Structure 1
Amino acid sequence: MQKKQKFLMLLFTVTLFVLAACGNSTDKSSAKPNKQSSIQTADDSKGDSLEKSASVGVDTTNQNDQENASNNPSTNSNDRGSQKATNLGGKTSESMKDDYLKKLNEMEESDKNVEAKTIMAEMEEQEAERYKAWDEELNKIYSVLREQLSTEQMEQVRIEQQNWIEYRDESAKKASLKYKGGSTESLEYVATQASLTRERCYELVAKYMK
């Protein structure tokens, strides 16, 4: 009877041991996939975070470019202002002065090369046309100065111009009196007006035009 009890106890102990061993084996085998799964999940998460950080980097760069552009309105404004100054009539203010001087030189050269009339009436008409051309050019120059100069500067030019007109007419009158009563009196008057107007054009451009 005692031997039978010992045998049953041994059998029970062996059974428990076998069951315990099977349970441990099952736990280990089930734990391995979980470990791999967690590694893969971590790798996937890392990859996602890298992709996200890369995309954020691109967006940040673009955003920084936009912010730099928006935060520098003065640069854009200066560029527009510079372009506007350059496009004043298609020319800069510096070249306007040069162009006017060139134009005046061409007008003067044209006066020298024009065929001189021989009949008194035609000579007087020719000088009257020369005076008209220079007077029209003087008015154009005066209009440009109105746009370029300040109010104070333009007021100074206006006063000078009034004084100059008196000087021009007085000088023309004085020159014509040398031929008072002669056929060339009126010719000398208009010829002097033309020459003085030409000189005034050069003076205004050289002194005031920018």
Structure 2
Amino acid sequence: MKNNRKFLVGMLTAVFLILASCGNSTDESKVTLDNQPPDNNARQNTKDNSLDTDNINGNEADLPNDDLAKQEDLSSNHTESLKEEYLKKLNDTKREIDKVRNNNEDETTYALKKVEGDRYDVWDGLLNEVYGVLINQLPAEEMDQLRKEQREWIDYRDHTAKEASLKYKGGTMEQLEYVTVENDLTEERCFELVEKYMR
């Protein structure tokens, strides 16, 4: 009986020692794990959502050549997509305006002037928008040349519209013809600027 009691006491002591050491090793492992870097999966998730901290300086010179090429590809793709975005916007606008013009049931001069006035607002707004994008995109020297070209184009547009309207001089169609020609030329110029200059 005494032997059994000694055996039980020995067993209980051993169990307590094992539990105590497990508790200590667990606490130690917690401290150690908290101070270790995240595992590869956690690091991968961090990389997906943030900058690469391996190159903490952030200098382009520190980046591998492949990374520089990727950055250049991304910037050229963004610029190309901007050009494509504007071409799509211009084509969509043209389609919508043509639909309104072709489905206009009111053929009075007043109604036609209203349609052309609205058309002018749209195309003139888009021309200014495109021009604003080009101011930000083009090098200073190229932009200076475009400014000069744009001033000449405005003179050409106004002169051409005036000449076309003179065939209706003094009539109710004179102003309508002027605005219609002005709109046609402004629409063409929007496409020309995007195709020729936008990058």
User: Is TM (by shorter chain) over 0.5?
Assistant: yes
Give the length in aligned residue pairs. 141
Q: Aligned residue for 2:149?
A: 160
Q: CA RMSD in A?
A: 2.8
Instruction: Give the TM-score of the pair, scaled to structure 1.
Output: 0.60
The answer to whether 1:101 aligns with 2:90 is no
- Stretches of 4+ aligned residues off by more than 6 angstroms: none
CA change 1:77–1:152 in 2 (3 A) is farther
Deviation at 1:162, TM superposition (A): 0.1
Structure 2 unpaired stretches of 5+ = 1-53
Q: Aligned residue for 2:13?
A: none
Distance in 1 (alpha carbons) for counterparts of 2:136 and 2:70: 17
Aligned-partner SS, 2:171: coil
CA change 1:77–1:184 in 2 (3 A) is farther
Q: How high is the sequence identity, in percent, across the aligned residues?
A: 45
Instruction: Give the TM-score of the pair, scaled to structure 2.
Output: 0.63
Deviation at 1:84, TM superposition (A): 9.3
Q: Aligned residue for 1:181?
A: 170
Distance in 1 (alpha carbons) for counterparts of 2:187 and 2:115: 15
Structure 1 unpaired stretches of 5+ = 1-67
Does structure 2 conserve the Cα–Cα contact (< 8 Å) formed by 1:132 and 1:194? no
Deviation at 1:125, TM superposition (A): 1.4
| Counterpart pick for 1:112 among 78, 95, 98 | 98
Q: Aligned residue for 2:123?
A: 134
Alpha-carbon displacement from aligned partner over 1:170-192 (angstroms, at most 9, x marks no partner): 01100100111111110000111
The letter for the 2-side match of 1:209 is M
Higher Rg of the two aligned structures: 1
